[in-house]
Chain A
Amino acid sequence: MGKETPNKIDPVVTKDWGMVAQKKLMSTYYNQVMHAKEEGKKVVYTFIPGNLVELVNNFDLVSVYPELLGLQMGLRQSAEKYLNLGEKEGYADELCSYLKASVGMAAIDNMGPQGYKIPEPDFLLLIYSNCFTFLKWWEILRRRYKCPIIEIHLPYNGNAGGINKESLKYGVKQLKEVVIPKLEEITGKKFDIDKLKDSLRNSAEAEEDYYHVINSAKNTPSPIDAALNGIYYVGPINSALRGTPQVVEYYKILRKDIEKRVIRGEGPVTPFGQANDQKYRLVLEGPIPWMVPESFYKILYDEKAVIVGATYIKVGGSYDLGWFHDPSRPLESLCEQVTNCYANHGIKTRTEIMEKHIRDFHADGILFHSIKSCKSYITGQLVMVKELERKLNMPSAFFESDMMDARFYSEANVKNRIESYLRMIDQKRTMGEAT
Chain B
Amino acid sequence: MSYYMGIDLGSTTCKVVIIDENKEIVSKGITNTRSDYTVATRFAEQEAIIMARFYFLENALRENILKSPGIQVDIEKVLLLLESSFRLCDYKEKVLEMGEVSKSLTKKDGSKVSGILEDIFNSIYKEANQVITNLSFNKGVFFRDLISSSFTKYLREIKDFEAVDKIVGYFDKSLLQIENKFNEIDFVHTTLGTLNMDNLDNSVNYDDSIINLIKNSIEDAGNYNFNIENKVGTGYGRQRLPFPKDQIQSEILCHGMGAHQMFPKTRTVLDIGGQDTKAIRIDKNGVVTSFTMNDRCAAGCGRFLGYIADELNIGLQDLGPLALEAKKNVKISSTCTVFAGVELRDRLSLGERRSDILAGLHKAIVRRAVSLIARAGGVENEFTFTGGVARNVSVDKNLREIIASRYGDVVINISPDSIYVGSLGAAMYAKVG
Contacts and interface: CB of A to CB of B under 8 A. Distances in A.
A431 B285 contact: yes
Interface string B352-375: 000000000000000000000001
Nearest to A423: B250
Interface residues of A, number: 27
Interface string B112-146: 00000000000000000000000000000000000
Nearest to A414: B295
Nearest to A407: B296
B252 A423 contact: yes
A412 B250 CA distance: 13
A14 interface: no
Contact of A420 (B252, B285, B295, B375): B252
Residue of B276, B293, B295, B375 ringed by the most chain A CB atoms within 10 A:
B295
A424 B377 contact: no
Given A382-B375, A386-B377, A435-B283, A424 B291 contact: yes
B249 interface: yes
A434 B250 contact: no
What is the interface of chain A mostly: helix, strand, loop, or mixed? helix
B289 interface: yes
Interface stretch (A109-117, A119-127, A356-364, A395-403): A395-403
Interface in A347-380: 370, 372
Contacts of A424: 250, 252-253, 287-289, 291
Nearest to B282: A434
B289 A395 contact: yes
Contact of A428 (B250, B252, B287): B287
A86 to B, nearest CB: 20
B251 interface: yes
Contacts of B291: 395, 420-421, 424
B148 interface: no
A416 B239 CA distance: 11
Nearest to A397: B291
B292 interface: yes
B253 A423 contact: yes
B274 to A, nearest CB: 14
B296 A372 contact: yes
A434 B251 CA distance: 19
Contacts, number: 61
A410 interface: yes
Given A419-B250, A420-B252, A389 B290 contact: yes
Given A408-B296, A435-B284, A423 B249 contact: yes
A282 to B, nearest CB: 15
A398 B292 contact: yes
A95 to B, nearest CB: 16
A305 B86 CA distance: 51
A417 interface: yes
B283 A420 contact: no
Contact of A417 (B284, B287, B290, B293): B293
B283 A434 contact: yes
Nearest to B253: A423
Contacts of A389: 290, 377
A403 to B, nearest CB: 14
B295 A400 contact: yes
A5 interface: no
A420 B248 CA distance: 11
A423 B296 CA distance: 22
A413 interface: yes
Contacts of B283: 434-435
Contacts of B296: 372, 400-401, 408, 410
A177 B293 CA distance: 52
A427 interface: yes
Interface of B: 236, 249-253, 276, 283-285, 287-293, 295-296, 375, 377
Given A398-B292, A412-B236, A424-B291, 6 more contacts: A370-B295, A395-B289, A395-B291, A410-B296, A427-B288, A428-B289
10 contacts: A386-B377, A396-B290, A399-B295, A408-B296, A410-B295, A417-B293, A423-B250, A427-B253, A431-B285, A435-B283
